[in-house]
Amino acid sequence: MALPVLVTGANTGIGYALCKLLATEHECSVLLGSRTKSKGEKAVADIKKLAPNASVELVEIDVSSDESVAAAAAAVKAKGVTLYGLVNNAGVGLNTSGDIIETNFKGPIRVSEAFLELIQDGGRIVNVSSGGASSWVRQQDEATKKFYSNPDISLDALVADVAKQAAGSEGGWPGTYGLSKAGLTAYTMYQAKAYPHLTCVSRPVSAGCRRVDGVSVPSKHSTRAGRSPQASSRRT
């Protein structure tokens, strides 16, 4: 039976490449998340051109919007879908438009909480991070390093500290981008304890990658929940 997997930010890049792999090589039932309907429809059509029998459909979702995420979760629930996996891939880069913290850090929290009841016991949540997380953590004082590496971290405390750090963040690398990914990695550690019935992992895109359609897709290496975000240090 095909395993249903939702991938956010999947109309292009790594998200699209992952959807294509899951649908064409692993026979998963793919829910391709896209903020823009037209771009998502094109991505779905492109995959179906390669594999007409592939199970892939569009889910409109803007991870930076409470309303959009709630509507997407309601739509998936109405179809009676139980997810095996959720991949929080949507994000914005250092030099792109959009609210970095709202998308890269709060987005996965928003999506995970909205779809939690739809993920089967034994399912997976994968949060796509990067080497920016460890780059940011290495530049902090010892107290901050310990805070962002603490497997017993509180979600409320994490959200508050990310907001505080963002208010004083400077431009450049790793800056706010690195903070957003360090926060995401710390959130994954929180998830691992809060949701023991699921496997929650954070994958740094920069490590153990292989090329698929011109983009890097993680292969064997991953940063598991509970492991320090300092584990990977390459920039992506």
Cα–Cα distances (Å) from 68 to 63, 88, 136, in that order, read 7, 15, 30
Residue 200 β-bridge partners? 125
Is residue 4 reached through a cis peptide bond, with omega within 30 degrees of 0 on the bond before it?
no
Say how far apart CA 213 and CA 193 lie, in whole Å. Answer: 36
Closest CA to 129 of 222, 6, 7: 222
The overall average pLDDT reported for the chain is 88
For residue range 160-197, what is the model confidence (pLDDT) as tens digits? 999 999 998 877 889 999 999 999 999 999 999 999 99
Say how far apart CA 218 and CA 214 lie, in whole Å. Answer: 13
pLDDT for the residue numbered 31: 98
Kindly report the pTM of this predicted structure.
Answer: 0.86
Buried b / exposed e over 119-149, threshold 16 CB at 10 Å, is beeebbbbbbbbbbbbbbbeeeeeeebebbb
pLDDT for the residue numbered 223: 36
- List strand residue ranges (DSSP E) for 27-147, in order: 29-34, 56-60, 83-88, 119-129
For domain 4-231, give the CATH number.
3.40.50.720
Distance of CA 122 to the CA centre of its chain: 18
Q: Where are the domains of the chain?
A: 4-231
Say how far apart CA 33 and CA 11 lie, in whole Å. Answer: 7
Closest CA to 18 of 52, 43, 35: 43
For residue range 25-75, what is the model confidence (pLDDT) as tens digits? 999 999 999 999 999 999 999 999 999 999 999 999 999 999 999 999 999
